[in-house]
Amino acid sequence: MSNNNLLNETHNPALTSWVESANIENSDFPIQNLPFASFKLKGSNEDFRVGVAIGDQVIDLKAVFALDIFDGDVQAALEQCCNTQLNAFMSMGKHFWSALRQALSKALTTGSELQAKLVSCLIAQADVVYALPCQIGDYTDFYTSIHHATSVGKKFRPDNPLLPNYKWVPIGYHGRSSSIEVSGSNFKRPKGQTKAPTATEPSFGPCKRLDYELEVGVFIGNGNDLGESISIDNAEDHVFGICLFNDWSARDIQGWEYQPLGPFLSKSFASTISPWIVTSEALAPYKAQWTRDEADPQPLPYLESQHNRDFGSLDLNLQVLIETETMRNAKQAAVQLSQSNFKDSYWTVAQMVAHHTVNGCNLRPGDMFGSGTQSGPNPEEAGSMLELSNAGAEPIQLPNGETRTFLEDGDCVIMKGWCKKEGAARIGFGEVSATVLAAD
C-alpha cells in the first residue's frame, strides 16, 4: 500500500479557503487540517459545543446542523456534534468522521456555494474558551521513547538503565483521568511525601523537583467489546486523532513512591492537553516508515504488520518553551527549552492500541493514551527538565540570566506541535500551556 491510498481530496495542498486567515503561511489551521474542540464564547452562560478550527476562526457545528444544508451521513454526524463534547461523534467510527471532514472541506473551500450560509457559523478563536474536547473515561500513559527511558533509567538505575522488558512490551500504566484539564488551566504545586537520599525517614511538603513531560495524547474513537482485542491491522481505524499533552511530574515524590507499583501521586495532581484534536485522517500525509533496529528484538506477531512498518510512524515536530515570571513581567517572549519529533518513538500508536486490547481490555470513545515523554537521540531533544538538567546537577541557562534545574512557581510551560514537509500542507496543533502556582 502506498501513502497515496491514505490520501484524498481533503489533503490537496493547493486547496484554499474563503476564510482568508486559513491561507496565511504557517497557519496552524489551514483547510487541510480541520481539527475538533469543545468551545463557547468567553464570558457567556451558553453551553459548550463542538467546533472545528479554520484559520483564526471556529466553525460552530451545532449552528451548521441547524442550517439543515447537509443530509445523510453528514447530517447524522453533525447531529452528534450538537453535544457539548465529542464522545458520541467519536463512537460513530471512521466512515462518519471522514464524511463530515470531506463535507466541511468542500463547504469551506474557496468558491463554495455554501459560503454565504456558513459565514454566520464562524466565531473568532480570540473570543472563545475551551473545555476538554471529550469526556476522558480512562487514561493510559505509555513509555514509548527509548531515549527518554534510557536517560531516566540511568538516573534511577545507573547499572541497569533499560529494563529487559522494554524492547518487548509497550510499557504503560493506568493514569488518573479526573485531573486532566484543558490548556490554560493553571495548577498549584503539589505536596506529598519525599525522602532525600541522606535522610533516615521521609518528610512531607511541597514538591521541590517539579517537571513537565512533553507528550502526545492519542484519542480513541470507536472502541471494542470486553474480551475482544483490536488487531494491529485495524488499530488505526479506532484512533480518532491526537493532541499535545503535558504530563506534569513531581520527580521527588515519584522517586520515593514509584517502587514497586509505579507512578501515583507524582502524576495525578495535574495533566494538561491542547484543546484541538487533530484527526488521524488529517495527519495521513505525515505517516512515515517505522523501523526497529536489527540488533533489537523484533515485535511479536500481534505487534507486527507491513502497514505498521510502512506508515506506523508520524513526522510530528514537538517543541517546549518556558516563560518565567521574571520574563513575563519584563514582557519578554517565551524561549525554547527543547525540540524533538514523534517519529523517534520506539513504539507506534497502532502497537499501543493492539497491545492495550490484546488481553481483552475494552477501550471506549474518548479514552486517551499518553505517548510517554518524547525525547530524541540528542541532548537538546530531551522532553523533560529531568534530562535537560541532568537530574538537577547541571542548571539550564536561560537567555535573561535566570537558571532552572526544575520548575519554579510562576513558570509557564508552553508546548507546540506541527507537521511540515514539501508537497503537503503544514498542519499545526495549536499549543498547550499552563502556569505553576505556589502550593497552599
How do residues 158-188 score in pLDDT, each as one tens digit? Answer: 888 888 899 999 999 999 999 999 999 999 9
297-333 pLDDT, tens per residue? 999 999 999 999 999 999 999 999 999 999 999 999 9
Nearest alpha carbon to residue 125 among 32, 216, 29: 29
Residue 2 has pLDDT above 70, yes or no: no
Q: Is 254 helix (H, G, I), strand (E, B) or coil?
A: helix
119: Cβ contacts below 8 Å, ≥ 6 apart: none
**pLDDT score for 6:** 87
Give the pLDDT confidence score for residue 163 in this predicted structure: 86
Annotated domain spans of the chain: 3-131, 139-437
- What is the secondary structure of 67-116 as a DSSP string? HT---HHHHHHHHHTTSSSSHHHHTT-HHHHHHHHHHHHHHHBTT-TTHH
Q: With bands split at pLDDT 50, 70 and 90, how would you rate the model's confidence at 140? A: very high
Beta bridge partners of 418: 317, 428
For residue 9, give the 3-state DSSP assignment. Answer: helix
Mean pLDDT of 248-268: 92
Rounded CA separation 181/38 (Å): 13
The mean pLDDT of 126-142, rounded to a whole number, is: 97
For residues 54-80, average pLDDT:
98
- The CA R_g of the chain, rounded to the nearest whole Å, is 22
Fold classified for 139-437: Fumarylacetoacetate hydrolase; domain 2 (3.90.850)
Q: What percent of the chain has pLDDT over 90?
A: 93
Confidence of residue 79 (pLDDT cuts 50, 70, 90): very high
368 vs 159, more confident: 368
For the chain, the average pLDDT equals 96
User: At the topology level of CATH, where does 3-131 sit?
Assistant: SH3 type barrels. (2.30.30)
pTM of the model: 0.96
Catalytic residues: 148
Per-residue pLDDT at 4 exceeds 80: no
- Specify the amino acid at residue 316: L
pLDDT of 219 strictly over 90 = yes
Specify whether the CB–CB gap between 417 and 341 falls below 8 A: no
Q: Quick one: pLDDT band at residue 417, thresholds 50, 70, 90?
A: very high
For position 335, what pLDDT does the model report?
98
Mean pLDDT computed over 223-241: 97
Task: Please list, in sequence order, all residues whose beta carbon lies within 8 angstroms of the beta carbon of residue 295, skipping any fewer than 6 positions away.
Answer: none
C-alpha cell at 397: 541557562
Alpha-carbon distance of 38 to 50, in angstroms, equals 5
